[in-house]
Each structure stands twice: as C-alpha cells, then as structure tokens.
Structure 1
Amino acid sequence: MLVRDAMSKVILTIGPAHTLRQAAALMSARRVGAAVVFDPDTSGLGILTERDILNSVGLGQNPDQEHAHAHTTTDVVFATPSWTLEEAATAMSNGGFRHLIVLDGDGPVGIVSVRDIIRCWARTGQLVS
C-alpha cells in the first residue's frame, strides 16, 4: 500500500503567529493531531503537533502567549503520495515522530500519521504475523 491510500487529505494549516491555544482549539475541532504551519515570510512549511503543545504546557508556558513559530518543527521530513507505507513507517520510526506532511509538487496534499498506517495495515491483515 502507498501513502496516498492512508493519508488524510484534510490539512489544517495555520500561521506562525497563532497562539498554542488557538492551534489546539483548531486541531481539536478538526480532530487532527498536527497542523501544517505556513510562514509566508520564509515560504517554509513546518509542523506543530499535539506533543509540541503538550511539552509547552508541561513546561508551564502560557498557551495564550506562546506562538506556533516558537514550537514548530521546521526540519521536517516530507513524504510523497507514492511512498510505500513501509517507507513512511520507517521514516517515522527513525525520526521519532508520528506525522508526515505529504507533498506532491510544491504543496502539501495530505498528512499521514502512525494511526493512518496502522488502520490500513489492520484492514488488509498486514499486522497479523
């Protein structure tokens, strides 16, 4: 199976000036665990995950004062729709993260998570040894 078969095509995109509370509210409303952060000043893509928000709150930082740009991962590993799920799972395992932004051409077309991969593998029986 390929990443295009597992990825979510619902992409939450936020700006770097969103507060962590705003990001969390949007992520919760859309039921997603990550947001793509687009910074028009750098034309760069980053990712903000539920873990990033949790770490900030755990450090005692105020989610109404902390902005996405300060917590965004900008050293992002991107997948393509034609990657195999094994390639995506390996990249996630090696990098220690649970989400990959999927790029096709210049822009994001989806996000694939560990949960998406497991769901696909469970449906096809690939989890059974």
Structure 2
Amino acid sequence: MPTLVHDAMSRVVLTIGPAHTLRQAAELMSTRRVGAAVVLDPDTCGLGILTERDILNSLGAAQDPDRETAQSHTTTAVVFAAPSWTLTEAAATMTRGGFRHLIVLDEREPVGVVSVRDIVRCWTTREEGGAAARGRPVPA
C-alpha cells in the first residue's frame, strides 16, 4: 500500500501574517524547526507560503530582514496537496513545479506541510524496514 501525504506531513503548521518581518518569520521558523510558514492574509482570505529559500534570497540581495515583510516575499500561486495524495503524487508535483514544500489542505483548511525531506524520510524508513525484513543489512 502506498504511503500517503497524511502519513508524512508535518502537522506543525506555522501561520504568520503578511506584516511579519523576515526576521520574525525566520525566528519563528527556527524555533518551530520548520522550513516554511503559511502566510494567511485576512484581507484577501488568501493563503501563501514563505520558505527558508525566500528568506535566503532576500538576504542574498542585501535586503534588510527587519524591514522586509513576509508579504513581499510570499508565494501566492500555491499548489496545495490533499492528505490522501500518495507521496509519489506529491513528489511529482514538487518536481514539476520546482518547489520543496506543499501546504496540505483538508476541507480548505491547512492541516500540514509536506516537504521533500518528509517524503525522503518516509521512503527511506519504509525501504530500511523492508530490507531488514528480507534479512539484508540496513545501512547505518
């Protein structure tokens, strides 16, 4: 049976507003140990995503993280995943879109975020379990 997004996703959904500075976003992401934040704009009822890469690109462009806001760096053309997607579907979607995180929606509400790391962890764990069950050594 294929592993589903529901099984791999992080249920820690960091939600920030568009007025958060990049420094504030980075501090929250670091504290929660997540690589992306869901940006909820109550004025537009829209969801976006701010990733560690967005913050890195801003810093690389010598922008001030205390003045730059999440709104200016948020991806609003977001592709969402459903908890019932297979990890293969999620990975294919990420590959086609060139991104590393998907917001997982259930009934239009964010319930998680799935990352490339989450997918690799699940596939690796499953493969290691299968190798051990077949009597093959599992790499350390």
Q: TM-score range by the shorter chain?
A: over 0.9
Mapped to 2, the partners of 1:124 and 1:67 lie a distance apart of: 40
Deviation at 1:16, TM superposition (A): 0.1
Given the alignment of the two structures, is residue 101 of structure 1 paired with residue 103 of structure 2, yes or no?
yes
Partner of 1:42: 44
- The TM-score, its normalising length taken from structure 1, stands at 0.97
Mapped to 1, the partners of 2:10 and 2:104 lie a distance apart of: 9
Deviation at 1:29, TM superposition (A): 0.4
Mapped to 1, the partners of 2:63 and 2:94 lie a distance apart of: 27
- Indicate which of 4, 9, 12 corresponds to 1:10: 12
Report the secondary structure of 1:25's partner residue. Answer: helix
Mapped to 1, the partners of 2:126 and 2:21 lie a distance apart of: 40
- Indicate which of 90, 111, 123 corresponds to 2:113: 111
Render the CA deviation track for 1:48-85: whole Å, top value 9, x for unaligned: 00000000000010000000000000000000000000
- The TM-score, its normalising length taken from structure 2, stands at 0.89
Identity rate, percent: 73
Gaps of 5+ in 2: 132-140
Deviation at 1:27, TM superposition (A): 0.2
Partner of 2:135: none
**CA RMSD, aligned part only?**
1.1
Gaps of 5+ in 1: none
- Alignment length, in residue pairs? 127
